[in-house]
């Protein structure tokens, strides 16, 4: 697709050699022909005006006009009255045939996990916050700045986390990052520098994400079993791990909260082992049937690295997260962030700052709690009506549930049968380190699925869910 320019003429790099003895017009014609033949200039692409190209190359305007006239006569260029000179159709390199775009069939419902309601992103509020941030932003903020991120966002975010998550958040020990993946990578690489060699993680959990991040940091990763009270600290204590990644507020994907006694045991393990807990605080804003659970970091700020993002609360595409660092690791994580990318985009950080300061962020969260609660209710009701044999767990928070299927039904068979009915289902096996498909469980994400679609989707797959 040719570039479209508005206003000023586009730039065009052409080299004219005044010492070659070759006439300047001949050189210009050759350079333009070559640019069109090789595809540097594509069909329909606009050329600079004769006046502008003459200025850029230090030539007379008449010479450029003569050149354009000659190439137009040869069929390379086309000019219309009142319009720019453009590359003529058929003058450039024949384009390769475009392969047909295979559009995946639309689904009645796609229960993909980890995706918030993308259609509910507060576009008007974000545009307002961006304009406000840009208007008030000092010129110095356009420089690289502190690799930890905007001081304004770190101050506001620390206050927000103290208020909402009971975290021991200090803006001086907060590093803004580009989402959870970068935050985890920074944490593991910093720990590797301190001599940590093994990191443990919950099983089921996020084995692919954690093992790849651990490998990049030069660490080995080992799975730890999770039961109805959270990660088994006794099993963890029997390993040589000096770091562990946990989701204590709402375990991914089972949905259990780390029991109070396990929280204390985990902190005691970290202190006794000289270890660090990496807390993934991924969807703590959305609670329904129980009191909010505070961040583990608030109990032991010297032993816990807490990572959070706006991927679930706003949208994954924003790529804004934060790392609450222990005092002993702040400098190392900051230096690693500086080496990675010299800091996250400042204007987006300032826009998020304005969103939080203005109350628009809290207002959005309150509205989305209501939306997700209604979808959760719809999902439970649809399963009770169309697949009463299926039990559901993990619904106290977040926007996913775990469906427990009768043992005679195989995970991949259920998923395939659902896909044939235009419904997207996803199995627990992807969350297990062994990739085991038994017991048969599905992780049903309802964040980006409307209530009507939830009902229609569950209705369509009632037979596969019931093992028929």
Question: Between β-strands 220-227 and 230-231, what pairing exists: parallel, antiparallel or unpaired?
Answer: antiparallel
The more confident residue out of 171 and 89 is 171
SS3 assignment for the chain: CCCCCCCCCCCCCCCCCCCCCCCHHHHHHHHHHHHHHCCCCCCCCECCCHHHHHHHHCCCHHHHHHHHHHHHHCCCEECCCCCCCEECCCCCCCCCCCCCCCCCCCCCEECCCCCCCHHHCCHHHHHHHHHHHHHHCCHHHHCCCCCCCCHHHHHHHHHHHHHHHCCCCCHHHEEEECHHHHHHHHHHHHHHHCCCCEEEEEECCCHHHHHHHHHHCCCEEEEEEEECCEECHHHHHCCCCCEEEECCCCCCCCCCCCCHHHHHHHHHHHHHHCCEEEEECCCCCCECCCCCCCCHHHCCCCCEEEEEECCCCCCHHHCCEEEECCCCCHHHHHHHHHHHHCCCCHHHHHHHHHHHHCCHHHHHHHHHHHHHHHHHHHHHHHHHHHCCCCEEECCCECCEEEEECCCCCCHHHHHHHHHHCCEECCEHHHHCCCCCCCCCEEEEECCCCCHHHHHHHHHHCHHHHCCC
Residue ending a domain, choose from 360, 380, 397: 360
- The confidence score (pLDDT) of residue 229 equals 96
Asked if 128 and 222 sit in the same domain, the reply is: yes
Are residues 354 and 367 both part of a single domain? no
Q: Distance between CA 173 and CA 161 in Å, rounded? A: 13
Q: Which residues have a Cβ under 8 Å from the Cβ of 160 and sit 6 or more positions away?
A: 356, 361
Phi, psi of 201 (to 5 degrees): -150, 160
Same-domain pairing of 222 and 287: yes
Q: State residue 83's pLDDT score.
A: 77
**Residue 322 exposed, middle or buried by CB count within 10 Å (0-12, 13-18, 19+):** buried
Note whether 194 and 276 are same-domain residues: yes
Do residue 300 and residue 184 come from a single domain?
Answer: yes
CB 396 within 8 A of CB 250: yes
Which tokens hold the place of 120?
Answer: 């509910």
- pLDDT of 88 above 80: yes
Beta bridge partners of 226: 231
Cα separation of 239 and 248, whole Å?
Answer: 20
pLDDT at residue 36, rounded to an integer = 93
Q: Tell me what pLDDT residue 11 has.
A: 86
Residue 6 has pLDDT above 60, yes or no: no
Does residue 18 sit within a domain?
no
One domain for residues 375 and 354: no
Same-domain check for residues 158 and 303: yes
Does 222 reside within a domain? yes
For residue 3, pLDDT beyond 70: no
The predicted-structure confidence for 272-312, as pLDDT tens digits, reads as follows 999 999 999 987 788 876 677 889 999 999 999 999 999 99
The answer to the question of residue 331 being in a domain is yes
d(CA 370, CA 407): 34
Could you tell me how many residues make up the chain?
Answer: 468
Confidence (pLDDT) at 383: 96
**Token pair of 169, please?**
């958040």
Are 39 and 152 found together in one domain?
no
Residue 291 burial by CB count (10 A; 0-12/13-18/19+): exposed, middle or buried?
exposed
Per-chain mean pLDDT for the chain = 93
User: Which of 20-24, 90-94, 109-113 shows the lowest mean pLDDT across its residues?
Assistant: 90-94
- pLDDT reported for residue 320: 98
The pLDDT-based confidence of 10 (bands split at 50, 70, 90) is confident
Kindly tell me if the per-residue pLDDT of 367 is higher than 70: yes
Among residues 311, 336, 360, which one ends one of the domains? 360
Let me know if residue 13 belongs to a domain.
Answer: no
User: Averaged over 345-357, what is the pLDDT?
Assistant: 97
Residue 13 · residue 53 · CB < 8 Å? no
* pTM score: 0.89
Q: What are 397's two structure tokens?
A: 């928070």
Quick one: pLDDT at residue 91?
82
- Strand pairing class (243-246; 230-231): unpaired
Domain count along the chain = 3
Over range 320-341, report the average pLDDT: 98
Here the CATH number for the domain that contains residue 390 is 3.90.1150.10
Residue 231 pairs with which residues in a beta bridge?
Answer: 226
Can you tell me the mean pLDDT for 323-332? Answer: 98
Provide the pLDDT confidence category of residue 22 given band limits of 50, 70 and 90: very high
Between the CA atoms of 342, 344, 350 and 356, what dihedral angle is there, to the nearest 10 degrees?
-130
pLDDT for the residue 344: 96
Please check the confidence at residue 7 and state whether its pLDDT lies above 70: no
- Tell me the backbone φ, ψ of residue 134, rounded to 5 degrees: -65, -40
Domain extent at residue 51: 24-87
* Domain boundary, last residue among 306, 334, 360: 360
Among 4-18, 46-60, 90-104, which stretch is predicted with the lowest mean pLDDT?
A: 90-104
The closest alpha carbon to 368, from 121, 58, 88, belongs to 121
What is the percent of the chain with per-residue pLDDT over 90, rounded to a whole number? 85
Q: Is residue 393 part of a domain?
A: yes
Residue 213 and residue 353 in one domain: yes
Q: What are residue 290's phi and psi, to 5 degrees? A: -145, 165
- Domain membership of residue 14 (yes or no) is no
For residue 296, being part of any structural domain is answered with yes
Does one domain contain both 334 and 406?
A: no
Identify the pLDDT of residue 289. Answer: 66
pLDDT in tens, 401-433: 999 998 778 999 999 999 999 999 999 999 999
Q: How far apart are the first and last CA of the chain?
A: 50
Residue 100 in this model has a pLDDT that exceeds 80: no
Q: Are 311 and 371 part of one and the same domain? A: no
| Residue 311 sits in the same domain as residue 377 | no
- Give me the CATH number covering residue 78: 1.10.10.10
pLDDT at 269: 98
Residue 3 resides in a domain: no
For residue range 119-166, what is the model confidence (pLDDT) as tens digits? 999 999 999 999 999 999 999 999 999 999 999 999 999 999 999 999
Q: Place 26 in a pLDDT band, splitting at 50, 70 and 90.
A: very high
């Amino acid at each position: 697709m040719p570039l479209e320019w508005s206003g000023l003429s586009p730039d065009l790099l052409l080299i004219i050699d005044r010492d070659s003895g070759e006439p300047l017009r001949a050189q210009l014609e050759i350079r333009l022909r070559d640019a069109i033949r090789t595809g540097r200039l594509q069909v329909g692409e606009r050329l600079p005006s004769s006046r502008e190209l003459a200025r850029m190359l230090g030539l007379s305007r008449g010479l450029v006009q003569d050149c354009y006239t000659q190439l137009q006569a040869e069929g390379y260029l086309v000019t219309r009255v009142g319009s720019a000179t453009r590359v003529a159709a058929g003058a450039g390199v024949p384009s390769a045939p475009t392969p047909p775009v295979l559009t995946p069939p639309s689904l009645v419902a796609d229960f993909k996990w980890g995706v918030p309601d993308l259609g509910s992103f507060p576009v008007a509020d974000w545009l307002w916050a961006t304009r406000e941030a840009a208007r008030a932003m000092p010129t110095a903020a356009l420089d690289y700045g502190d690799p930890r991120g905007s001081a304004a966002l770190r101050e506001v975010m620390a206050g927000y986390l103290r208020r909402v998550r009971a975290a021991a958040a200090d803006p001086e020990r907060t590093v803004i990052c580009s989402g959870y993946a970068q935050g985890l990578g920074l944490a593991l690489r910093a720990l590797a520098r301190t001599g940590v060699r093994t990191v443990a993680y919950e099983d089921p959990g996020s084995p692919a994400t954690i093992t790849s991040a651990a490998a990049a940091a030069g660490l080995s990763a080992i799975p730890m079993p999770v039961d109805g009270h959270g990660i088994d600290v006794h099993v963890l204590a029997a390993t040589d791990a000096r770091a562990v990644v946990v989701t204590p507020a709402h375990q991914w994907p089972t949905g259990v909260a780390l029991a109070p006694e396990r929280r204390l045991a985990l902190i005691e393990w970290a202190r006794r082992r000289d270890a660090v807990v990496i807390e993934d605080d991924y969807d703590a804003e959305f609670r329904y049937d129980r009191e909010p659970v505070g961040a583990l970091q608030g109990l032991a700020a010297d032993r816990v690295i807490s990572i959070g993002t706006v991927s679930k609360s706003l949208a994954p595409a924003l790529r804004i997260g934060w790392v609450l660092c222990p005092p002993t690791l702040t400098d190392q994580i900051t230096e690693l962030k500086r080496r990675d990318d010299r800091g996250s985009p400042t204007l987006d950080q300032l826009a998020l700052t304005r969103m939080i300061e203005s109350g628009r962020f809290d207002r959005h969260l309150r509205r989305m709690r209501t939306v997700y609660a209604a979808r959760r209710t719809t999902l439970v009701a649809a399963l009770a009506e169309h697949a009463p044999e299926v039990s559901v767990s993990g619904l106290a928070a977040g926007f996913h549930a775990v469906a427990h299927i009768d043992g005679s039904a195989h995970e991949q068979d259920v998923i395939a049968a659902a896909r044939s009915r235009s419904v997207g289902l996803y199995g627990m096996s992807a969350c297990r380190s062994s990739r085991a498909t038994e017991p048969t469980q599905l992780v049903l994400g309802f964040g980006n699925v409307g209530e009507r679609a939830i009902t229609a989707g569950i209705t369509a797959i009632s037979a596969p869910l019931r093992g028929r």
